[in-house]
Structures are given as structure tokens and as C-alpha cells.
Amino acid sequence: MADGWLKAGLGESGAVLLQAGGQWDAQNVTRLDQQLRSLAPGDNAPMVLDLDQVERLDTAGAWLLYRTVKARRAEGGQADFTGLTPAYQTMLEQVAANDQPAEIEPPRPPTLVAILDRVGRGTVEVGEEAKQQIAFLGLLLVSLAGTLRHPSRLRLVPLVYHMEKVGFNALPIVGLISFLIGVVLAYQGATQLQRFGAEIFVVNLIAVSVLREIAILLTAIVVAGRSGSAFTAEIGSMVVNEEVDAMRTLGLDPMEVLVLPRVLALVITLPLLAFFADMMGLFGGMLMCWGALDISPGLFLERLQGAISPWSFWVGMIKAPFFAFLIAMVGCLEGLRVTRSAESVGQQTTRSVVTGIFLVIVVDAMFSIFFAAVGV
């Protein structure tokens, strides 16, 4: 079967004769469309479209033919078909019956307006989000208080399940990162301190920075990327599937079923993870000191006792549940804010990680100021 073709010629009594033939279908319309559009508009001579040699006509091809005739008639000219089989006739009629322009995209404002629009929306959005976070915090606390009053309502199985996922399963990556950071700190610190002959103080450097700041901060960031995003994506997909709506109609509180187990799981496990990170960081530092600086583990531990007070340890640990609460809360909230499209799941997941890390660092700074003020 031949590809679709179109020949322009002169018909009887000065009419423009357009001969169409071959396959007038979706596969061929791109070419035929160009050909038809490039036809000289001509004078007002009547136009005849001859379909005698068309082997196949589908809606796309019929649309082109119909459009050509319609345009000519709209200009006040004459245009007609010849060589129509009944099937082509019906096809053309069907196309004519369905000729209505449709909107393709929501209307788009001009560029400048669009930019201003985006800035404005972004600003309002930030305020809106802060408001929602505070409202959500309230809801969460109410729900938490309810659970404290009726501990039997706590969903233990999901709690343990999430503890395993966010806590236990994160051990390898958290441990590895802390270990490496301990190694790096020891190495970098040693090269600087060696110049003053004070390399023994590298133990103080490692102990204080790992215990007070680095271990917990790194753990929180890893967990925000790992579990905060997972919370958002899980809850968000449920929103897309209308599962959360279904839950509400069944009298289940999504707060209690979805949010609380996740928040509690993270609040319980993040301090444990942080402790593990502390140990791995120190271990990494100790190995490096031993290998590169000839500070034996025994000496390292001895210096360690002198270098830190229990508070150095507690300053880090106290922050863990707060960070956990923030990460989990943001993760769940962003998940519930998903609208019913796949794209929105991705958007909210990104937002959840970014906001989670941002809040963790802001709160960490606030803790630093607080601890400085109380003098520990």
C-alpha cells in the first residue's frame, strides 16, 4: 500500500483539483499537513478534492481534508469532495460533527506576570507552610496526649516495624559515615596540631566535635534523607490512591494510624542511632590516632576521660529526640499535603528532605546558643 500523497492540478472550468491518494492515516499526516498548509491560497477558484485513489482514511487524515475544505469555505470560496465512498463520507461527517476547539493547557499569563505570580505564590506558600507546620504540631501533640492517656490505642506492630526500618536498617550507613568522619577529623586535626607539637590534643578535638555536634548532626541529616523522604513518599502515595480518605471514612484517624507510629519510632531510635554514631566516630578517630600518630588506644582512652565531661556527651544526645521529632513531623506533614498526582509526590518528598534538614540545622543553632548561655 502506498504512502499518502497529494497532487495539485487544474480541474475542469478552472477549478483547483486536489488529488489525494494512498494512505491518509496518522502515520502520514505530518507530511500531508505540511503539504496542505503550503498550498498557495490561490484566487477564489472553486476547489475540488478528489479522494478516488485514497486507500485508507482515518480520523487524522479525514481531519486534514475536512479542515482544508472548511478553511476554503470560510474564505468565501467553493470547495467540494469527489470520489467519496460511503465509508469516507461517514468518516468525514464524523469529523465534522466533532469539530470543536479544545483547551490544551491551562491559560498561561505573560512572562513578567508569571514571574511576579511565582514570587508572590512562593512567599505566601512559605507563610502557609509555617502555619500548617504549627497546626500540625498541635494536632500531633493532641494525638500524642490522647495516646498517653489511653496507651492501649498505640499501634505497637507498626511502631516496631518502623523502628526497624528507620533505626535498625540505618545502622550500617550511619556507622560507616561516622567512622569515616572520625578518621578524617583525626587526620586533619593531627596535621594542624603537629605544627605546634600538640598532636596529643587531637583526642580533645575528636571527642568534643564528634560528641557535641558532628555525630548527631550527620545522623539527623542521613535520617532526614533516608526516612523523612520515605515517610513522605509512603503517605503521599496513599493520598494519591485515596487510601487516606478511605481511612477517614472508616473512622480511622490518619494521625493515629500513620503519623504517630512513625514519629514515635524515629524519636525512640534516633538517640540510639546517635549513640552508635558517637561510638563509631570515636572508634574511627582512635584507629587513625593509633595508625598515623602512634597514640595507642590505651593512651587515647586516658586522654578521652580527661578531655570530656559527661555533659559533652549529653549535649549531643539531648538534641536527638528533638531532631527526630522535627524530621518525622515534616515527613508526615508533607506526605499528607500531596495532591492527587504522581508529580506532587516527588515535589513533596524533595520539600520534606530540604525542610527537614533546614529545621534540624536551625534548631541545632538554637541549642548551641542555649548551651552557651547556660555554660555547658
Binding site for another protein (CB under 8 A): 25-27, 29-30, 33-34, 55-56, 58-60, 63, 67, 87, 90-91, 94-95, 97-107, 240, 339-343
Q: How many CB atoms lie within 10 A of CB 344?
A: 15
Nearer to another protein, 347 or 368 (CB): 347
From 355, 335, 315, 114, select the one nearest 216 (Cα to Cα): 315
From 98, 68, 95, 96, select the one nearest 80 (Cα to Cα): 68
Nearer to another protein, 194 or 339 (CB): 339
Instruction: Name the one residue in this structure whose C-alpha cell is 524519636.
Output: 267
Determine how β-strand 47-57 pairs with β-strand 16-24. Answer: parallel
Nearer to another protein, 97 or 369 (CB): 97
Shortest distance in whole angstroms from residue 244 CB to another protein: 14
Nearer to another protein, 89 or 192 (CB): 89
Shortest distance in whole angstroms from residue 1 CB to another protein: 9
Nearer to another protein, 33 or 243 (CB): 33
Shortest distance in whole angstroms from residue 118 CB to another protein: 18
Shortest distance in whole angstroms from residue 56 CB to another protein: 7
Enumerate residues 6+ apart whose C-beta is below 8 A from 296.
290
Sign of CA dihedral 323, 327, 332, 337: positive
Shortest distance in whole angstroms from residue 73 CB to another protein: 17
Enumerate residues 6+ apart whose C-beta is below 8 A from 230.
165, 166, 331
Cα separation, 22 vs 57, in Å, equals 9
